[in-house]
Amino acid sequence: MTAPVIVGVDGGASGEDALVLGRWAASVLGAPLVVAVVHPAPSALGSGRVDAEWVADRHRAAAAVLDGARALLTDATCEVEYRTVASTSAAHGLHDLAEELRAETIVVGSGRAGPRHRLFAGSTADRLLAGSVCPVAVAPAGMEKPPGALGRIGVAYVDTPDGRAALEAAVRLAARTGSPVRLYTVVADADATLPFLVGQDAEHAFLDTARETYEQALGRAAESVRGAPVDWEIRTGDVVDQLAELDDVDVLFCGSRGYGPARRVLLGGVSARLVRRARRPVVVVPRSG
């Protein structure tokens, strides 16, 4: 059975963003779509009657959320399954479901407090990104253009196991969409690299060496790809500023971090800030191996 794409919804506008992204991903990958809402599990403590009434109310609320999702997916071309999950938190419930189904990807929306057209990872996304066994995709609030409209897949690339895992995942998606892949690497400004005491000449020499190293790594990565056309771009400035402002990719893939448990997302400094600010959907990929 093809691994499913799981979309977590909560009845808010961010859930609608997640459904748009998840439906597109499932259709492109030829995967079933599982729409899940997590409700509180019964507590072991407290008044049995009150607790039972409260849990029943949460069941009804979860069913209403799924009814809303069904209404939004009436024209979906992929297989869709709807599930309610009892758990101690939304993130925990989605983690457990992803492990049970061996999910392809978990998709969530931005936090409700996030500004429109900017991705602001809410608490569910934050917790999901701390240890997921599969890629986690976060949809920005109020996407101006739906995924698939721009025809390019982006990768925040560095020549590390995380960067190569992100590239592999991006190429797999690009092969299904027919889209080209663009690799992005960011070189810091001269003022941000070395203390001024080393001198301007040393700064420029360092930056030139760094750029040359990045160019070689990007060239090797592009040549290694089969199944999709690849080009690359080096930008200058703050890495999060540069990547967050990208507005010409359907999705941007990035690695989680350079260390930590293999095959689990473990959010690093760049990806943690990027998912809060990106204009386009971001997919954080656990490193393999």
pLDDT in tens, 38-51: 887 766 555 555 56
The Cα 152–Cα 230 span in angstroms is: 10
CATH H-level superfamily of 149-289: HUPs (3.40.50.620)
The Cα 124–Cα 208 span in angstroms is: 41
Q: What contacts 47, CB < 8 A, 6 or more positions away?
A: none
Q: Bin 30: left if φ > 0, else alpha if -120 < ψ < 50, else beta.
A: left
State the pLDDT confidence band at 203, using cuts at 50, 70 and 90: low
Q: Report, as an integer, the average pLDDT of 215-237.
A: 91
Structure tokens of 127? 């917790």
- Interstrand relation of 136-139 and 33-40 (parallel, antiparallel or unpaired): unpaired
pLDDT computed for residue 261 by the predictor: 39
The Cα 42–Cα 74 span in angstroms is: 32
Residue 219 dihedral angles phi and psi, to the nearest 5°:
-60, -45
The Cα 65–Cα 42 span in angstroms is: 19
pLDDT computed for residue 122 by the predictor: 58
Does residue 115 surpass a pLDDT of 60? no
The Cα 239–Cα 41 span in angstroms is: 41
pLDDT computed for residue 258 by the predictor: 47
User: What predicted TM-score, i.e. pTM, was given to this entire model?
Assistant: 0.85
Helix (H) or strand (E) holding 184: strand 181-187
pLDDT in tens, 57-104: 888 888 999 999 999 999 988 999 999 998 888 888 999 999 999 999
CATH H-level superfamily of 1-144: HUPs (3.40.50.620)
H helix count then E strand count, the chain: 8, 10
Report domain extents, the chain.
1-144, 149-289
Q: What contacts 191, CB < 8 A, 6 or more positions away?
A: none
Q: Bin 284: left if φ > 0, else alpha if -120 < ψ < 50, else beta.
A: beta
Q: Report, as an integer, the average pLDDT of 238-262.
A: 79
Q: Do domains 1-144 and 149-289 have the same CATH topology?
A: yes
The Cα 33–Cα 103 span in angstroms is: 10
pLDDT computed for residue 207 by the predictor: 63
Q: Which region among 15-24, 37-46, 143-152 has the lowest average model confidence (pLDDT)?
A: 37-46
DSSP 8-state assignment for residue 2: P
User: Which residue has tokens 């969530």?
Assistant: 108
pLDDT computed for residue 281 by the predictor: 95
